[in-house]
Structures are given as structure tokens and as C-alpha cells.
Amino acid sequence: MKILVVEDELKTGNYLQQGLTEAGFVVDLARNGVDGLHQARTESYDLVILDVMLPGLDGWGVLRAMREEGRSMPVLFLTAKGQVEDRVKGLEQGADDYLVKPFAFAELLARVRTLLRRGRVSEPEVLRVADIELDLLRRRVHRAGKRIDLTAKEFLLLELLMRRHDEVLPRSLIASQVWDMNFDSDTNVIEVAVRRLRAKIDDGYKVKLINTVRGMGYVLETPGPD
Amino acid sequence: MRLRSLTLRLTLLFWIASTVVLVALGYLVSRSVQMHFLEIDRDELLGKVALVRHTLAKIETVDEFAAMPGRMDDALIGHPHLGVRLSSPDGALLYASPNVSFPDADFPLRLAEDQQSPPSIATWRHGDHYFRGTMASVPTAFAGMPRANVAVAVSINHHIAFLDTFKHSLWLTIALSALLTGVLGWIAARRGLRPISDLTAVARNISASRLHDRLQVDTLPVELTALALAFNDMLSRLEDSFRRLSDFSSDLAHEFKTPLSNMMMQSEVALSKSRSEEDYRETLYSGLEECDRLARTVSDMLFLAKADHGQVVPTIEIIDLATEVQELFEFYDAFVEERGVTLARQGSGVVHGDRLMLRRAISNLLSNAVAHTAPGGQITVSLTSTTADVITLAVENPGPSIPSEHLPRLFDRFYRVDPARQRSRGGVGLGLAITKSIVTAHGGAMSVSSDHGITRFEMTLPARTRPGS
């Protein structure tokens, strides 16, 4: 998976490149809009991460030129401007997602993966991670062959963690995907919900699958070969 | 033309008014003096006519008639300003005194049949002299000529001279008076408008650091009292806003400084000597938490700043509040269960608004209520429509009453009832402020009450009737 990052801020660009590379992507970095557009024209990318305020040619300009040339790879905007009208403008001009600075890297990673996953749907009826089996049709969960009773929301939460296993899911993403709460709640509602799910899934088993990544979120990890 | 200066405008208006009055007065005075002289002259002329009539009444014989011019001359001795002319009814000149010539138009030698006394009076000029004269038909005692036409003229030079002097000084006085009233008017206007310049001086001295200054209302003219009161009110509002803003700035600085200094300190301590990998990880995690707090504060602040400028435009959709509350209950389900608190909902209501924002507003009230409810307590969310166009959503929780002095300020940014407990929870004290902004953006209002161990937050929202009902 090849990603182009167009970002003029030195540190932001470097850390984006490092973080995404370590997450397993091939990342090219352009420092301004003109270079970015040139890169996008000459190579093929699976995703472009575009800053809005860029020297030379701004993010809107880069996106417009790309779309006019018929390049349809997904574009994720990064911007310090969080106004509703900016968001609408970005999406209307063909951006696929929009992230307002400051953002959590885990959030960016989650959105990048969502964008890259789009269009490659092969909906399985049963999700399997390690020894957990989640039957989407019958709404049943088994671990190591033993039935586990979950509430509807716990089921949704587990489904999300399993679909995105090995990805760190930020609290805001979990709140949005499971409860449709699209704002930051300052209470530790998600923490409690995950803790309760973990009690049902992991208690009594030697391998703990659901883990907290401090300061970032939660991950359902496939155990290593050892 | 638009006059920019109020003083000039008042002066001009005052000057125009007084000048009009003065000119009218001058005209009336000079006209009545003129009429008065005319009256005097008429009396004198009629007296002279009587004199001539008297002289003619004595002529009875032809000799006497022939001697008439001589007698007339004798009679006129001592009256140098008097002129007399006699003519017979058929127009023959009988006598004319030497010092006057009568204009033909007004004084024909032959008088018309119907032209008897009292005659009209005419004024004319002969050489350097002005005359005023009249003409009458006078009976005589002489049988050969029963009537004679008498023209009498008096010199009015002294009247004319007096009138000229009089008018001259009159109009000069009027002109000077007009000038004087103009100047006095200007002074009066300036003095009268002085309270305005005083007002200006006070206003000029008011700055952000001297907002406590107020105008002295009791010394001001009534016309300016309302203005001054409005001005003082504005100052009070400004002072209040400034106070809040400055409180807010220091709170904000504190909110930013605390995590920043934590991060700086822990980074410096971590780098001061070589540490284990676990220690470094711990430092980074801790930094991440501080960043998270900072980022949340910034985005909350941004939301409030936009709300302050009316930029928060809710997307309008129909929202069933009961459903929203139910979904929030599900969201909080595990959380409240762990805290041993229960949630209950009553009533229903439908409003127009932005789902995300209203959820956030209600969520803030709920998390606030959960935080202040002891285990075993029940939080009740009730939806009522007291009047047809208002829906009230109330969140009630049992808990220690909030002292009443705190209630009006609960929705202020960063306000906390107990400053010591400030960072014990995740929030920084913006939740209720955000809730209020959201409700205000929806055209609603927030209120809070707390007594007898029950704290009740209320949001009133403009109701919309259920579609199709």
C-alpha cells in the first residue's frame, strides 16, 4: 500500500512518514503543493494525505487538479481549519475524509485503513480471530467453543474490534462506530464498556486478546506464534 | 446643506429667529412713525384750509376781491413753509404764493364737480423741499364767484429729516442687535451644550482598565439623562464582559500551562539520566495524556468561540428527544451500572435541531449528573411540554445541594463549585458552557436549581409538532 503525504510542517511530515511507514505502508513525502501534485501525477498511490494550507498550491488546488485529470485515489485532508464550511467544501470537491488538527495518530491510522479497505468488501458470515468466533447472522459469540452472552452493544463493540484486529482503535472512533456518539465525551464511558467486554471475553483465558494502549485506545491482538 | 456642528446649527437657528423678529419690529415702528407724521401733516393742512376759508369768507365786494392777493400775502406772513394757490371753479389762477409750485397731476386748477373735502393728501418734491398738500373747494362771500378752489401745501422737510435719521438709527440698532443675538446665541448654545462635552471628556477617559468609571447622571440635564444611563449600562455590560474575559483568559492560561509544564518537566526529568525502556515509555504515555487533554480543551474552546460569534449553525432535522435520551442511556449503560447509579426517562418531545449537537448537550448534562450522584441514586431525565411551543428537558439527580451563589455562574467557562477538585475528573469545566452554547444556538435556554438534595438542570427548546399530527 503506497501513500503520498503532502505536508509542509517539518515535524508533522516526518512523524507522519515514520508512523505510517512503521504501520506497514510505503510512504512518500512532499513538502509543498506543487511537488505533491507532481508526485501524484508521476506515480501511483493508493491514498493521498493532503494538508490544506500549503505553500505554492494549497490542498484544494492539488485535489482539484488531481480530480480534473481523473485520478480517483482516495484523499484524506488534514487541516487546522475545522469550520463546517471548510469540511463541506473539502468533501464537495471530492475529498474522501477530513481530519482536523490536532488529531491522534491512532485516529489517522484508523481512518487511513478505513479508506483503503473501502471497495474491497467480502462480507464473511463468521469472523474469526484467534479462538474467538463471532457469528454475524445468528448474533452469537464463542471463545474456544464456549458460548459467551453479550449485550447488543457489546456484540457491536466486539465485532468492531475483531474486524479491525491488530489496529489500535481510538475511543472517539469506538464511540462513533458503536454508539453513534460523534463527539468527545470527557467521561470514561468507553473505558468501562471495554472493561466489561474484556471481563466476558478474556477472564478465565490465559491469552488476553483485548488490550488497552495507553493514551491511544484499544486493540484486539492476534497472539504471536509463541 | 447639512450642518455638522450642533452649536453652529443652534446659533444659526436662533439668529435667524431673532433677526426675523427684529426686522418685523423695525418695520412696524418705522411705519407707525410715518403714519403719525402723516396724521400731524393732515391736521396742519386742514387748519390751513380753514384759514384760507376764513379769509375768503370776508370777501364780499369787487374791490375786496381785487385786493384779495394782497390780503392773502398778508395772511401768509410768518408762515414761510406754507404755500397757497387759489383758482376759480372754471380754472383761472387767482392767486399763487411764491415759494411753491403744485404738481399738475394731483392739483388741477379746475376741480371736478364731485371733488369736495376732505381731500386726499399728496406728497412731492420741489427743489430741495418736500411738500405735502391738499386741495378743496371753499365757499366765498363774493357774489361773482360763490366758490374758489384752494390748494394748500406745507413743507415737511423737518419731518423727512427726522424720519431719515430715525430710520437710519433704527436699522443700525436692528443690525447690531441681530449681530449681538448671533454672538449671544453662540455663547448660549455652547454653554447649553457643555454637558455633552463633559460627557465626551468622561467617555474619552474610559479605557479597558478604567471601566468602573460612570457618568454622573444627577448633574446632567434631563434630556441627556437617558443617554447617560444607557451609556452607563453599556459600561456595566462591558465591565462584566471584560471581567469574565479576563477570568477566562487566566483560566485558559492555567488549563494550557498545567499540561505543558507537566510535559516539559517529565521530559526533562526523563532525559536527565539514562533510564529503562519502561521509564521512557511511561514518560511518553504521560505526555500523550497531557496532549490529549490539551487537544480536547482547544477543540472545546474553538467550539465556544464559534458559538460566541454565532457561527454554530445547527443542521436542522426533526429530532425525537426520547429516542436521543434512550440512545444516550445505552451509551452510558455500562458506565452508570459500574457506578451503581440508575437512569430513568419520562415523557417525550420532538424538536428541530442538530442531532450531534443536542446529543452532546444532553450527554454533558448526563455525565455531570452521574459524576455528582452517589451509588444507589437515580438520575431522571424528564421531557415535558409546559406550553404548546416549548419542550423542557430536565435532568435531575440526587446529591448535595449546590450553594445558591454558584448557580448563576455554573454555565461560565472553567467555572467550578469546588476549585480544589478541579482536575479530579477528565473535564476542564467547559461541558456546561458548551451545553449552554448549543441550547442557545437552538433558540433555547438553560437553567439550574438545587435544593433539598436534588439538583435539576433544565433546557427549554422551541418545540416542533410531530410531522403528520
Q: Is A99 on the interface with B (CB under 8 A)?
A: no
State CA B58 to chain mean position distance.
85
Q: What DSSP character marks residue A86?
A: H
pLDDT value, residue A30: 92
DSSP three-state, residue B387: strand
pLDDT value, residue A82: 63
Q: How far does B467 lie from chain A, in Å, by closest CA?
A: 24
Which residues of chain A have a CB within 8 Å of the CB of B328?
181
Residue B318 forms beta bridges with which residues? Answer: B352
B103, B115, B93, B88: which is closest to B153 by C-alpha? B103
- The angle formed by the CA atoms of residues B454, B458 and B461, to the nearest 5 degrees, is 165
**Per-residue cell: B22:** 427684529
Q: Is A188 on the interface with B (CB under 8 A)?
A: yes
Q: What DSSP character marks residue A1?
A: -
CB-CB contact of B373 with B341 (8 Å): yes
Q: What is the pLDDT along chain B (469 residues), one digit of tens a residue?
A: 566 788 888 889 989 999 999 999 999 999 999 899 889 888 888 888 888 888 888 777 777 777 778 877 877 777 777 888 888 877 788 888 877 778 777 777 777 666 555 557 888 887 778 888 888 888 877 777 778 888 888 888 888 889 899 999 999 999 999 999 989 999 998 888 888 887 788 778 777 777 777 777 787 788 888 888 888 888 888 888 888 788 778 888 888 888 899 899 999 999 999 999 999 999 998 898 888 888 888 888 888 887 777 777 777 888 899 999 999 999 998 889 888 999 999 998 888 888 888 999 999 999 889 888 889 999 999 999 877 788 999 999 998 888 888 888 888 887 777 665 544 444 567 888 889 988 988 888 999 988 888 899 999 998 765 443 3
DSSP string, B1-49: -----HHHHHHHHHHHHHHHHHHHHHHHHHHHHHHHHHHHHHHHHHHHH
pLDDT value, residue B121: 80
Query: In which band, very low, low, confident or very high, does the pLDDT at A88 lie, cut at 50, 70 and 90?
Result: low
Whether residue A102 and residue B291 make contact (CB cut-off 8 A), yes or no, is: yes
User: How are strands ordered across the β-sheet holding B390-398?
Assistant: B342-347, B378-387, B390-398, B454-462, B445-451
Whether residue B367 and residue A186 make contact (CB cut-off 8 A), yes or no, is: yes
- Lowest mean pLDDT of A74-83, A198-207, B272-281, B393-402, name the range: A74-83
Interface of A with B in 60-89 (CB under 8 A): 82-84
Report the interhelical angle of A105-117 vs A171-179 (nearest 10°).
50
Q: Is A179 on the interface with B (CB under 8 A)?
A: yes
Q: What is the mean pLDDT of residues A85-108?
A: 78
CB-CB contact of B343 with B381 (8 Å): yes
CB-CB contact of B463 with B350 (8 Å): yes
DSSP three-state, residue B197: helix
Query: In which band, very low, low, confident or very high, does the pLDDT at A161 lie, cut at 50, 70 and 90?
Result: very high
**Per-residue cell: A154:** 457489546
Selecting from B288, B330, B333 the residue whose C-beta is nearest the C-beta of A215 gives: B288
In total, the C-beta contacts within 8 angstroms joining chain A to chain B are 74
pLDDT value, residue B216: 78
Whether residue A187 and residue B302 make contact (CB cut-off 8 A), yes or no, is: no
Chain-wide mean pLDDT for chain A? 85
B26-29, long-range: CB < 8 A, 24+ apart? B26/B170, B26/B171, B26/B174, B29/B170
pLDDT value, residue B112: 65
Residue A191 forms beta bridges with which residues? Answer: none
CB atoms within 10 A of CB B57: 13
Q: How far does A179 lie from chain B, in Å, by closest CA?
A: 6
Q: How far does A120 lie from chain B, in Å, by closest CA?
A: 30
Q: How far does B353 lie from chain A, in Å, by closest CA?
A: 16
CB-CB contact of A83 with A100 (8 Å): no
Pairing of strands A26-30, A2-6: parallel
Q: Report the complex ipTM.
A: 0.75
A155, A153, A113: which is closest to A133 by C-alpha? A155
Q: Which residues contact B464 (CB under 8 A, 6 or more apart)?
A: B318, B350, B351, B352
Q: Is the peptide bond before B118 cis (omega within 30 degrees of 0)?
A: yes
Distance set, CA B359 to CA B42, B326, B348, B365, B441 (Å): 106, 11, 15, 10, 14
**Per-residue cell: B412:** 461560565
CB-CB contact of B107 with B135 (8 Å): yes
Whether residue B311 and residue A83 make contact (CB cut-off 8 A), yes or no, is: yes
pLDDT value, residue B135: 83
d(CA B416, CA A50): 40
Q: Is A222 on the interface with B (CB under 8 A)?
A: no
d(CA A140, CA A136): 7
